[in-house]
Amino acid sequence: MAPVADGDGERELALDALGGDRETLTDRAIAALRAAIVDGRLPSGELYSVARLADRLGVSRTPVREALLLLERQGMVRFERNRGVRVLESSARDLDEVFTLRLLLEVPAARRAAELVGEDELAALSAELAAMGRLLRAEDETAFMTHDQRFHELLLAAAGNRRLVGMVGGLRDHVRFRGASTVGRGRDLRAIYDEHVRIFDALRAGDPDAVAAAMRDHLVQTRRLLLAADPATPPPLQDPPWPAR
């Protein structure tokens, strides 16, 4: 039996103040485990026992197992019989699949958001865009990408589908836990910022077609650069023919 990565030197897993509701515990365990995978506290390729993870989170095994089962369905971990649960490595093919799904979800959602967005949503999006602009001078990629993520979340929320926000957030996590970034790969923060400005300007103009096209171009460019940066798997020869509608 392969060793399980439990023992001295393990980094702390944080779980916010807990209530007694099992569903709440499960939700918080999901968030804590996903965050630990994304930031490397639970490195990919390692085996972990449910019992030890539960101990580290300070909860019972049940919510941790339920959280891991959900993360398994999302492709982040895999249960191995009589061995534990393994954090999976993400491949170039995984990235390709993630962006295929994001194109399917976010392009029509952006179109719908353009039809529904109100002044409050536009103000919130403008604030995130302004924060991104201020961080260009500081060249703070981490903070910049936090506002980038929030911009996308607000745009998806404006489309009127709360579940979509969580689904796309999970897809973004796959990219983050692989440590993938397009910055420095023929693309700087200014280019990413300009892509978001184009999306916002089309939103403010009330042009659903332009919003959808700007979102599609942003995601396709991100996908192309991430795949091109991986020497193991070449990018697809062409992007799929996503329709305007």
Q: Assess whether 82 and 133 both reside in one domain.
A: no
Q: Which of 33-42, 82-91, 150-159, 169-178 has the lowest mean pLDDT?
A: 169-178
DSSP state of 241: -
> 3-class SS at 92?
helix
Q: Is 197 a domain residue?
A: yes
Closest by CA position to 154, among listed 118, 129, 125? 125
The residue from 30, 64, 87 where one domain ends is 87
- Same domain? For 119 and 210 the reply is yes
Q: What is the pLDDT of residue 1?
A: 43
Range of the domain at 50: 22-87
Would you say residue 109 lies in a domain?
Answer: yes
Strand order in the sheet with 47-48: 47-48, 84-87, 77-80
DSSP characters over 152-177: HHHHHHHTT-HHHHHHHHHHHHHHHH
Query: How far are the Cα atoms of 111, 156, 240, 243 from residue 95, in angstroms, in the given order?
Result: 24, 21, 15, 21
Tell me: do 37 and 158 sit in the same domain: no
CATH classification at residue 213 = 1.20.120.530
Residues 97 and 70 in one domain: no
Same domain as 83, residue 203? no
pLDDT at residue 22 in the model = 47
* 23 token code pair: 């569903």
Residue at a domain's end among 59, 87, 115: 87
pLDDT computed for residue 233 by the predictor: 53
pLDDT in the model for residue 94: 76
Shared domain check, 106 and 169: yes
Structural domain contains residue 245: no
Residue 7 lies in a domain: no
Q: Are residues 152 and 174 in the same domain?
A: yes
139 Cβ neighbours under 8 A, 6+ residues apart: 189
Whole-number Å distance between alpha carbons of 96 and 52:
33
Render pLDDT for 31-80 as a digit per residue (tens, 0 to 9): 899 888 877 788 888 899 999 999 999 999 999 999 999 888 877 889 99
DSSP summary character for residue 231: S
Same-domain check for residues 181 and 118: yes
- pTM of the predicted model over 0.95: no
Q: Are both 52 and 101 inside the same structural domain?
A: no
Q: What are the tens digits of pLDDT across the range 186-244? A: 468 889 999 999 999 999 999 999 999 999 999 999 888 777 755 555 445 445 544 44
- List, in sequence order, the alpha helices (H) in 74-228: 92-116, 119-138, 141-158, 162-177, 189-204, 208-228
pLDDT at 156: 94
- Per-residue pLDDT band at 148 (split at 50, 70, 90): very high
In a domain, 131, yes or no: yes
Domain membership of residue 157 (yes or no) is yes
User: What mean pLDDT is predicted for residues 2-18?
Assistant: 52
Question: Pick from 184, 186, 202, 197: which is nearest to 244 by CA?
Answer: 202
b/e map 190-207, b = 16+ CB within 10 Å: eebbebbebbbebbeeee
